[in-house]
Amino acid sequence: MKTESNLKPQLQFEIEAFPKKEGEPCLVILYDNVAGPFEKQMGDENTQTYYTYDRYELETPYAENLEERISASFDSWLEKAKQEEGEEDLTEMEALKKVVADQQETIESMNSVIDDLLVFNLGGE
C-alpha cells in the first residue's frame, strides 16, 4: 500500500511481536520504494518534509531466528506480502490451498526450532 509519512523508514522491515513467544502470531511490516524527502506547503510560509514508500504487512508465527530469515530472503518475503495484499476474492479451493501452504510454512518454521532445540539438548552449539 502506498504510504506517505514525515518519518522515513530506517529499516527494510520491522517485526511486531507481543509477546515474543515461539509460534505466536506476529506482524512483519516490509518497506519498499522509499523516496524523498519531499516538501509541501502547509499554510503561508510553513513547509513539511515527507517521504513516500510502499508498506506491506504479513502475519507469520514468531521465531527467534525470524529476523535473520527475513534478512536472508527479503525479496521472497516482500513478494509474498505483495501477493497477499493483491489477493481478491478467492474460490473455496484457492482459499483451502492457501491455508494448506500457510500451515506447511508454519510446520517448517516449527521444525527449524525443534531442530535447534535438539542440537542444544544434545550438547551442540
Over the stretch 65-112, which tens digit does the pLDDT of each residue have?
Answer: 999 999 999 999 999 999 888 765 567 777 788 889 989 988 988 888
Contact 28, 15 (CB under 8 A): yes
Helix (H, G, I), strand (E, B) or coil at 18: coil
The residue among 65, 69, 64 whose CA lies nearest residue 21 is 64
The number of beta carbons lying within 10 Å of the beta carbon of residue 81 is: 22
The residue among 123, 13, 125, 114 whose CA lies nearest residue 64 is 114
Query: Is the pTM of the predicted complex or chain greater than 0.85?
Result: no
Domain residue extents for the chain: 2-86, 90-125
Place of cell 527494510: 12
Phi-psi region of 72 (alpha: psi -120 to 50; beta: other; left: phi over 0): alpha
What's residue 21's pLDDT?
92
What's residue 5's pLDDT?
94
What's residue 125's pLDDT?
63
The model's pLDDT over 12-64, given as tens digits with 9 standing for 90+, comes to: 999 999 989 999 999 999 999 999 999 998 877 889 999 999 999 999 999 99
